[in-house]
Amino acid sequence: MVNTSVGIVTTEYVEFDLELQLESGRLLGPITLAYETYGTLNRDRSNAILVTHAWTGDAHAAGRHHPDDRKPGWWDDMIGPGKVLDTDRYFIVCSNVIGSCKGSTGPASINPRTGKPYNLGFPVIMVRDMVRAQVLLVDHLGIDRLLAVIGGSMGAMQAIEWGIHFPERVRGIVPIAGCGRTSPMAIALNAVARQAIFNDPLWKKGNYKPEHPPADGLALARAIGHISFLSDRSMQLKFGRRFSARDGLFDFFGRFEVENYLAYNGSSFVDRFDTNSFLYLAKALDLYDLAWGFESREEALERLDCPSLWFAFTSDWLYPPYLTEEVIAILQKLGKPVEYHLIASDYGHDSFLVEPEKFTPKVVDFLERRLAEAEKAVTGDG
């Protein structure tokens, strides 16, 4: 991987003074979107790639906000000069989804009608609603057609929705470790996580004070999520059966190292994410079905005209490969331009973040082909 960076970046904010009609029938507005951009939009505005983030991600995908930041953006190893998403060639956009707490309008935002936080008065949103809000941003940036939409997990779902509902606005999609509809098992895991929050007395049916969140419930909910992101093999490699060196083996409250890991990730998550946003985004994941509003998945996927590049990972048990392969089979039956790769990895659902080198050469090739198509369209040669 090329060791270059986009450097110091700034999160930008745009407000849309309108009401967005949601899939639920409710209206949401005005809407603020947080976003970051990397690279330069070319003269023809034909080199823009939208990066879509996962469940608890944000707009800060690359670079650092301050020179002393401990970590760069969440996909920094992918975005930058000479990297997979090469900022010398492409203009990269990453926005925070609505429903989040990372700068875009969500349940922690102020409801203009009451002057107080929405909390559970915030409408239930779907992935499709997130994409409709992103369309507003792309229009704001003056981009008629995206070169590609690429993302993992919930980001993959957004990419799929772009291809189905805005086929004229995108030249290609790259869904990574995603699915066409959430499985009952994934919904069950989210249900247990939700209950952990509901059972915390500080949750107060969503009316907690920001300075006193239901920390125990949210930490436990996040720990449940972390288990689903890993795999048996990755836990063996990372932790084995090692017992904490600080605890006695027969101390009743002594912990294995895997327990310490879950406890740490759960408690640190409380400091950076809003509980109600966690719940709303989990609900959006549960509701996801690309066939929503259609008679069948076939009818929905018939609308996907652009080339698509899909990746699944052998050890992913949150969104196992068969869920992706169901969609691939339909696309192939419909004669759509689709490419699918099953990547061998031991790192579970997080494989796309841990071992990107296993699939990124195919992404580079896919994007180069889309760029060549865009250039031909501009010159009239294609």
Residue 148 carries which DSSP code? E
Q: What is the pLDDT of residue 73?
A: 97
Helix (H) or strand (E) holding 182: none
Q: Which residues are annotated as a binding site for substrate?
A: 222, 350
- Which residues have CB under 8 Å from 186's CB, separation 6+? 228, 285, 286, 318, 319
Nearest residue to 172 (alpha-carbon basis) of 90, 98, 100:
90
Can you name the residues that pair with 149 across neighbouring β-strands?
A: 50, 173
Residue reference for tokens 């759509």? 336
Q: What is the pLDDT of residue 172?
A: 98
Residue 119 carries which DSSP code? G
Q: What is the pLDDT of residue 1?
A: 45
Domains, the chain, ordered by start: 12-182+289-379 (3.40.50.1820), 187-282 (1.10.1740.110)
Q: What is the DSSP string of 208-239?
A: -BTTB--HHHHHHHHHHHHHHHS-HHHHHHHT
- Catalytic site positions: 153, 316, 349
How far apart are alpha carbons 273 and 275 in whole angstroms?
6
Nearest residue to 230 (alpha-carbon basis) of 158, 318, 171, 159:
318
One digit per residue, the tens of pLDDT, for the chain of length 382 reads 456 899 999 999 999 999 999 999 999 999 999 999 999 999 999 999 999 999 999 999 999 999 999 999 999 999 999 999 999 999 999 999 999 999 999 999 999 999 999 999 999 999 999 999 999 999 999 999 999 999 999 999 999 999 999 999 999 999 999 999 999 999 999 999 999 999 999 999 999 999 999 999 999 999 999 999 999 999 999 999 999 877 777 778 888 999 999 999 999 999 999 999 999 999 999 999 999 999 999 999 999 999 999 999 999 999 999 999 999 999 999 999 999 999 999 999 999 999 999 999 999 999 999 999 999 887 766 4
Rg of the chain's alpha carbons, rounded to an integer? 21
Contact at 8 Å (CB) between 51 and 79?
A: yes
- Which residues have CB under 8 Å from 208's CB, separation 6+? 202, 214, 275
Q: What is the pLDDT of residue 3?
A: 60
